Homo-oligomer: A and B are copies of this chain.
């Protein structure tokens, strides 16, 4: 009976094989081919192998991936650089739940806000949502009545999306946030956020960058004085946001033809959004006849001036540009906004539109690697008594940085080490396992990172080869002569120099030699 079943399955496999060949020959869509191939594989799995074992196919889910030790070593370097910077600036770590429950009248907030609230809870149901990175933080502050904190958090988050994995977009990805909450004097924490972005991007050494700054109030004021109707601020704002990918003509066309602005109003906007500069530009605009009609634009410009004066003291103005075309899509920003952009060439641009056509937080423009701003109203939205907690923060586009670092590592001849082993404990002759174990125990107990081969009698050559392959810089070689003399032969893997070091001095010598590395 089993043989009978087997024959039936084999027949089915044969037929399905024909189907696959046929639709491949017909150049059917990739989806269709994949579907038929999957059917074939499932049939084959049912059949089992020649040895009677089942056959099966393993795969990871779309939009997800494992990270091998080499990739993790690169990630760790990025994490370490970023976290050290956050700690240098006095931040504590807070680990926040992504999901939370809110009992709320449905009619209360508009649809958009409901989506925000429920986002991380409902990513299984909703097809496309923006990643609102600051929402869990605001929820945490409101729930715990915290009125001031400086914190960072790096964590895996998830998105329901059809990610373009070739462009570095995954369903599981890391998110990296730094925020300062509290009632403080203007622009001091804001300037520190920019200083942090400046430090991190300089240290990571991923090429030249610029940090664009603008202010939500300047944008709104500019729209007002140019004659944009109040109810069109938001939509015009998102059109302006496209200026880093599209020429002004296309943006203007969208404003006039799609959004219904008059040519004249669009042209007035065009003049302003073409402006870039530093503190001088803010000063000039404060004198601008039209701009100074808007109180909020003036407030924003005064703050930009103050910001630049602090950035000068922070030695960070070399990379910061006041850019009136920077809009950032998110509606929770209330004051200053900023975005860091790599100007490096040779890095594949990452598409910036998610499937719903909206810009996503962690990938805002081509080359964008960090962004943030002031959001003074968000915590109050979660507080039953609407108590406000002013906040300013930044999100680092850590997945983009990983991709760039991985590409750099691929391109460079330099090997990425996946372990930090400082010394290999090796034997020159047979029957020295016990002596190797004794020595490595001394090293481990002294805090030295050490390894040995898990063989009773490994060949010296294979022990040395292992060091060259994995980048271990030193070998401590034991032989009968060395044991008799109470020494260890310490070999430098790169230069192949060998010197006898007494057992008493070995630990200090290894530490000395590896301290600079």
Contact = CB atoms under 8 A, between A and B. Distances in A.
Interface stretch (A18-26, A64-72, A331-339, A347-355): A64-72
Nearest to A455: B185
Interface stretch (A89-97, A257-265, A272-280, A496-504): A89-97
A56 B172 contact: no
Contacts of A199: 444
A54 to B, nearest CB: 4
A142 B58 contact: yes
Please tell me how many copies of the chain the complex holds: 2
Interface string A342-379: 00000000000000000000000000000000000000
A101 interface: yes
A53 interface: yes
Interface stretch (A39-47, A209-217, A225-233, A243-251): A39-47
Given A91-B419, A92-B419, A99-B61, A182 B454 contact: yes
A413 interface: no
A71 B153 CA distance: 13
A90 B185 contact: no
A434 interface: yes
Nearest to A87: B420
Interface residues of A, number: 97
Contacts of A101: 58-61
A386 B184 CA distance: 64
Contacts of A60: 97, 99-101, 143
A313 interface: yes
A449 interface: yes
A73 B93 contact: yes
A69 B48 contact: no
Contacts of A505: none
A97 B421 contact: no
A511 B140 CA distance: 35
B69 A454 contact: no
A508 interface: no
The 3 A-B residue pairs with the shortest CB-CB distance, nearest first, are: A69-B92, A184-B454, A54-B108
29 contacts: A42-B103, A45-B103, A49-B384, A54-B104, A54-B108, A56-B102, A56-B103, A56-B105, A58-B139, A58-B143, A59-B100, A64-B97, A66-B97, A68-B144, A69-B92, A72-B92, A72-B93, A72-B95, A73-B92, A88-B447, A89-B450, A91-B419, A185-B454, A188-B433, A188-B454, A189-B454, A195-B444, A199-B444, A313-B438
